[in-house]
């Protein structure tokens, strides 16, 4: 990079990446729990993708039964600490809380869930689970992200031997590598992995399916297989200058930031992020917190078309990120290093299909934004390489097709869940898929 942002002191990095939502104290947690109305037909529970019995776990906090509270949470969600901190609660449970209808602040469900889970892990994760009789059957799980972890934990309780095959050296997928550090730290994910391993799940790391081992061998070795793979490589912009030094993809950049070795992560003085989804916002606010002087988000559509949540958009604005809407990148400018990005203005020409109106460019409206670094955040491709080699498995629009009732693919022995079937949703959706797929696998192997 031509112009690097100056390094900060360790204290400055820690301050910049401090948690957005600090934990409750025992007193404030109890006071918040007592505010809950314990609604009979709780809309918060209905809006949680894992259907945690929210009034029940909150009630247990109010009566100082913190272990019981954690048990209620874990019964529905195996990665509940990560979800408590990283879930978009504003559009899920807290968004559905009845207090919103009264014009009052909703119950802080995420922070209360975090309070119960922090207490559980602080007390060395006691074994509070009931195991079924051993079934002498094994299940292979590909990918140790939230879907794979949830599936493995549930199958272990159901009596199966489970091996997870993970390409990375440190397991956890998105939970370990992809969530902004001001939401969750890597340590949170590692605590959940330690708990799941303590149930008997084996995790083999550094195993690249399709390279180190063939998917056929895994399918042959086990009685059933669960695909919990995330998405693959970042999509390319396919514009001139993409090969210049200083062009990065958001996933790699976020992974580096997640290492928490902030001093060693290179960031430009002026950074342009391409795309306006939640990943773009993460990359933008992380670049700013690493010391970038100015960060821009460039998006070819308008605000109404952004896939980022409103609260993420607000966070970016609070971090003084500047937005260029209706601006399409045309060329990355520079000789060897990035020196700028040339964009062209766009306008809407028709409503088009569903939520993707058609755009056209406005002739002679090109402009250049001087930047030192470009981060591409325009989505990811799926792992078609080894998925395509699984007999009878069907793909549609880059996603694995499953029977929504039991998560079984076209290959009866293979099940799938999480990002590879939904194209990239929340951690909590993957956790639910993994748990439900475990029951689909149990039903399949019991017949
Ligand atoms: Fe409590 Fe709100 Fe859920 Fe009602 S909707 S049970 S008040 S958290």
Question: Which class is 138-232+382-446 in CATH?
Answer: alpha beta
Q: CA 390 to CA 401: how far, in whole Å? A: 12
Pairing verdict, β 414-416 and 294-298 = unpaired
Q: What is the DSSP letter of 77?
A: -
Helices 109-122 and 66-76 sit at what angle, rounded to 10 degrees? 110
Distance 25 CA to ligand 1 centre (A): 20
In this prediction, residue 354 has a pLDDT band, given cuts at 50, 70 and 90, of low
Domains 21-122 and 138-232+382-446 in one fold: no
Q: What is the pLDDT averaged over residues 193-212?
A: 96
Give the pLDDT confidence of 248-298 residue by residue, as tens digits: 999 999 999 998 899 999 999 999 999 999 999 999 999 999 999 999 999
CB 431 within 8 A of CB 393: no
In the structure, what pLDDT confidence band is assigned to residue 428 with cuts at 50, 70 and 90?
very high
| Domain range list for the chain | 21-122, 138-232+382-446, 247-376
- Retrieve residue 39's tokens: 């609604």
pLDDT of residue 298: 98
Residue 357 has pLDDT above 90, yes or no: no
Contact 17, 262 (CB under 8 A): yes
> What does the pLDDT read at residue 230?
83
Atom 4, ligand 1: residue with shortest CA distance: 39
Question: How many angstroms is it from 108 CA to the middle of ligand 1?
Answer: 10
Query: Among 3.40.109.10, 1.10.260.40, 1.20.58.1610, 1.10.1060.10, what is the CATH number of 21-122?
Result: 1.10.1060.10
Per-residue pLDDT reduced to its tens digit, 387-398: 989 999 999 988
Distance 98 CA to ligand 1 centre (A): 6
Per-residue exposure over 260-277, b if at least 16 CB sit within 10 Å of its own CB, e if not: eebeebebbbbbbbbbbb
Question: Per mean pLDDT, which range of 142-146, 335-339, 349-353 is the poorest?
Answer: 349-353
Summarize pLDDT for 300-317 with one digit per residue, the tens: 999 988 999 999 999 999
pLDDT (0 to 100) of residue 397 = 86
**CA nearest to 343, candidates 304, 286, 295, 297:** 297
Protein residue closest via CA to atom 3 of ligand 1 = 44
* Protein residue with its CA nearest to atom 5 in ligand 1: 97
Ligand 1 mean position, distance from CA 97 (Å): 5
**Residues framing ligand 1 (Cβ under 6 A):** 36-39, 42-44, 54-55, 97-99, 107, 109
**pLDDT of 237-255, one tens digit each?**
899 999 999 999 999 999 9
Beta bridge partners of 263: none
Whether 383 shows a pLDDT value over 80: the answer reads no
Query: What is the predicted pLDDT for the residue at 61?
Result: 98
pLDDT at 358 over 90: no
Using the predicted structure, report yes or no on whether residue 377 has a pLDDT greater than 70.
yes
Average pLDDT of the chain, as a whole number: 95
Domain 247-376, CATH: 3.50.50.60
Is residue 361's pLDDT more than 70? Answer: yes
Ligand 1 atom having least distance to the Cα of 109: 8
Residue 384: per-residue pLDDT: 62
| C-beta of residue 334 within 8 angstroms of C-beta of residue 246 | yes
């Amino acid at each position: 990079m031509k112009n690097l942002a100056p390094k900060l002191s360790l204290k400055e990095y820690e301050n910049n990446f401090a948690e957005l939502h600090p934990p409750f104290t025992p007193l404030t947690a109890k006071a918040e729990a007592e505010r809950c109305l314990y609604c009979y037909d709780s809309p918060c529970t209905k809006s949680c993708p894992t259907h945690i019995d929210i009034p029940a776990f909150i009630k247990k906090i109010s009566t100082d039964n913190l272990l019981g509270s954690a048990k209620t949470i874990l019964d529905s969600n195996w990665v509940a600490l990560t979800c408590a901190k990283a879930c978009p609660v504003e559009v899920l449970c807290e968004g559905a809380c009845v207090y919103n209808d009264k014009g009052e602040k909703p119950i802080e469900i995420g922070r209360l869930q975090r309070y119960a889970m922090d207490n559980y892990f602080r007390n060395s994760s006691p074994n509070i689970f009931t195991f079924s009789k051993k079934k002498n059957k094994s299940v292979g799980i590909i990918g140790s992200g939230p879907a794979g972890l949830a599936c493995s934990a549930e199958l272990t309780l159901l009596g199966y031997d489970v091996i997870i095959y993970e390409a990375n050296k440190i397991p956890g997928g998105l939970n370990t590598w992809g969530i902004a550090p001001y939401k969750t730290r890597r340590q949170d994910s590692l605590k959940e992995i330690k708990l799941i391993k303590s149930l008997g799940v084996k995790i083999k790391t550094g195993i690249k399916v399709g390279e180190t081992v063939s998917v056929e061998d895994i399918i042959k070795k086990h009685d059933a297989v669960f695909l919990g793979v995330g998405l693959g490589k970042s999509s390319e912009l396919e514009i001139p200058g993409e090969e210049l030094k200083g062009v990065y993809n958001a996933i790699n950049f976020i992974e580096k930031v997640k290492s928490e070795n902030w001093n060693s992560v290179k960031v430009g003085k002026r950074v342009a992020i391409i795309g306006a989804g939640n990943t773009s916002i993460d990359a933008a606010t992380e670049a700013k917190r690493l010391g970038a002087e100015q960060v821009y988000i460039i998006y070819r559509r308008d605000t109404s078309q952004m896939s980022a949540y409103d609260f993420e958009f607000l966070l970016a604005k609070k971090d003084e990120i500047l937005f260029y809407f209706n601006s399409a990148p045309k060329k990355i400018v520079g000789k060897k290093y990035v020196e700028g990005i040339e964009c062209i203005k766009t306008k809407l020409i028709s409503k088009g299909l569903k939520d993707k109106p058609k755009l056209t460019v406005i002739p002679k409206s090109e402009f250049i934004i001087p930047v030192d670094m470009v981060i591409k955040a325009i989505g990811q491709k799926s792992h078609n390489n080894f998925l395509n080699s699984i007999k009878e498995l069907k793909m549609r629009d880059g996603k694995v097709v499953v029977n929504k009732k039991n998560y079984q693919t076209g290959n009866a022995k293979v099940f799938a869940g999480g990002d590879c079937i939904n194209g990239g949703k929340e951690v909590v959706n993957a956790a639910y898929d993994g748990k439900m797929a475990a029951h689909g696998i149990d039903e399949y192997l019991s017949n």
